[in-house]
Structure 1
Amino acid sequence: MNGKIVLITGANAGMGLATTIEIAKKGATVIMMCRNKQRGEEALKTAIEQSGSTNIKMMICDLGSLESIHSFINQFKEKYNHLDILINNAGVMTLKREVTRDGFEMQLGVNHLGHFLLTNLLIALLKNAEEARIINVSSGAHKVGKIHFQDPFLTKRFGLMKGYAQSKLANILFTKELSRKLKNTNITVNALHPGAVATSIGVNRKTGFGKSFMKLMKLFFLSPEEGASTAIYLATNDEVRHITGEYFYKKKISLVSKAALDGDLSKRLWTWSEQQVSIYPQK
């Protein structure tokens, strides 16, 4: 991993921070993408202390804002001319319906559309690498997910799992379609289920509501370090260097839902997503 540049979204806590520390230990330059400056700076300090590496940087970006994503990309391109590994780790889960700055339902907006735009805007830098990898953190929740095209932002009937499962199914459909579009390039794209992990994903981004529930979860669920193991494996192991378009669980290729294998659905979601974030079709 020496000399490789790795970008990790949602790196200020949980699996993102654990992934940052372990990959930095392996010699890579890691850029921690964080939404909040104060929490990001605290996480950066922790990452440097625990990894023993000084090749860790922190950059600000809110995946719930298309403007923030474009601003981040401009800053990133000023500093780096290529990117070896992109780990789309950031995720939110909301107990009640919330919206992003652009009016998207928060879970679909951050978990899918924010990463969709970010990834597409980074493709050129990934192509500049000798061998590049995109890793999307999805969830086993995708298996109960549907893409609700008639009301994708759940304005009429919101449900926590309905919205979260939709966003996680979108992660896998995005992975499958992007891997097809990048066939015969230097870039592989894979998704993963980290397992049931005790993180801050269910804590309200503004009020902090849900912290007590998340503390209780830690008694029964995997630690962030355990949850990060498959993402680290996909980012660093030579065994998967030529594997693309797959879904991993516990470092092995795993089965996905019938909907996740629907090529027509992945194409439809791709076109819809392009329209939402206003980008040109990926060549």
Structure 2
Amino acid sequence: MIENIDNSANSGLLTLTGNRTVFWLSLTGTTTGLAFFVKWELLDLMQGGQFTKETNETGKVVIVTGANTGIGKETAREIARRGGTVYMACRNIKKCEEAREEIVLETQNKYVYCRQCDLASQESIRHFVAAFKREQEHLHVLINNAGVMRCPRSLTSDGIELQLGVNHMGHFLLTNLLLDLLKKSAPSRIVNVSSLAHTRGEINTGDLNSDKSYDEGKAYSQSKLANVLFTRELAKRLEGTKVTANALHPGVVDTEIIRHMAFFNNFFAGLFVKPLFWPFVKTPRNGAQTTLYVALDPELEKVTGQYFSDCKLKEMSPAATDTQTAKWLWAVSEKWTRPTMIKVH
């Protein structure tokens, strides 16, 4: 509620309930100023929940996939600021090094490392894990953040449809190969960045790899549903280990993940559509807040198998609670990735 307004020709002041005072600049007086105030309040509201609790992550080892840009980069930056040892697992090592240099200079934390990990290649994942285990004896947080969205149909180097292969299968393999260190380092956490799109997803048991037909939107939603099903089944399998697994929706975030969405990349969209969507899109920093909350909040140390958004517990879709589908997907994922076989030295 607005308690009082004081304005001149070019400025204004509002005092809100709760003794919150806001200043604004106005070109035409109170009406325009109030309009700008409402606009910025809306923008602030749409940025979602914030993880404001200060934690000290010194001595903690954290892996963030897809950490060279977007949500992953902001996640790595904030964990580094809090003193954590951060491994940025990225496909593009050049971009990773550029992001790492920026983060190190800003946070003054030298314990930030770039390591190549292409989630579209199981060989690359195995090489990453083998190298990581040579360097570290512990892993306290694994953040499975990397992803691709609504891309033209293509396959990983192992013949898996790209969205399913990167968003789910790659992280499935990576997580399973690191479980021994996570258990050794308990209490530890696994954080899977999913999406609200999981609510539209369906696991196509008759054509999981989209060999018979392909729809980029359905394939993306399927991969995000797979993230949540994987999280829930993993949490069950980890009961009693003090290793938790949770999934989350970061919000609608302005990142490079939309690069394959032609609708947002044509001239018309850039001129007319994007400005309309802009107030409802989070910045990468704000998009990282729920990831940080799930990964770092001390109150979530024993919480597992859940789904979060805007730094709050949220209800997942009925399809995400299907135990039989979760078990079926796990069995197929094991068959396609062979996480217990072929160790790289």
TM-score (norm 2): 0.77
How far apart are the structure 1 equivalents of 2:107 and 2:203?
40
Question: What number of residue pairs does the alignment pair up?
Answer: 278
- Letter paired with 1:275: K
Q: Aligned pair 1:145/2:205, yes or no?
A: no
Q: Does 1:82 align with 2:142?
A: no
**d(CA) in 1 for partners of 2:262 and 2:158?**
23
> Offset at 1:279?
2.9
Tell me which residue corresponds to 2:322. Answer: 262
Question: What's the counterpart of residue 214 of structure 2?
Answer: 158
CA contact (8 A) 1:94 1:106 kept: no
**Partners in 2 of 1:229 and 1:92 — Cα distance?**
20
Q: Work out whether 1:219 is the aligned partner of 2:281.
A: no
Question: Which residue identity lines up with residue 113 of structure 2 in the other structure?
Answer: K
SS at match of 1:114: helix
- Tell me the equivalent position of 2:92: 36
Deviation at 1:211? 8.3
What aligned pairs does 1:1-283 form with structure 2 within 5 A after superposition?
1-203=57-259, 212=265, 216=274, 219-220=278-279, 221-280=281-340
Q: C-alpha root-mean-square deviation of aligned residues, in Å?
A: 1.9
Query: Structure 2 CA distance, aligned partners of 1:201 and 1:49?
Result: 26
Amino acid at match of 1:225: R
Q: C-alpha deviations, 1:93-144, integer Å up to 9, x for none?
A: 1332111111111000000000000000000010111410000000000001
Q: Which amino acid aligns with 1:56?
A: V
Q: Distance in 1 between matches of 2:262 and 2:129?
A: 31
C-alpha displacement of 1:203: 2.3
Shift of 1:47: 1.5
Equivalent-residue separation in structure 1 for 2:263 and 2:131 (angstroms): 34
- Aligned-partner residue type, residue 273 of structure 1: S
- Which consecutive aligned stretches of 4+ in structure 1 deviate over 6 angstroms post-superposition? 208-211
Q: Which letter maps to 1:74?
A: A
Q: Is 2:86–2:112's contact at 8 Å kept on the other side of the alignment?
A: yes
Larger radius of gyration: 2
- In structure 2, distance between residues paired with 1:193 and 1:254: 9
TM-score normalised to the size of structure 1? 0.94
Q: Which runs of 5+ in 2 are unaligned?
A: 1-56
Q: Is the 8 A contact 2:186 2:243 kept in 1?
A: no
Task: Tell me the amino acid that sits aligned with residue 184 of structure 1.
Answer: G
Alpha-carbon deviation of 1:254?
0.4
Which amino acid in 2 is paired with 1:125?
Answer: L
Q: Percent identity?
A: 45
* Cα distance in structure 2, aligned partners of 1:279 and 1:117: 6
Partners of 2:259 and 2:265 within 8 A in 1:
no
Post-superposition offset of 1:209: 7.8
**Alpha-carbon distance, 1:52 to partner:** 2.6
In structure 1, stretches of 5+ residues that fail to align are: none
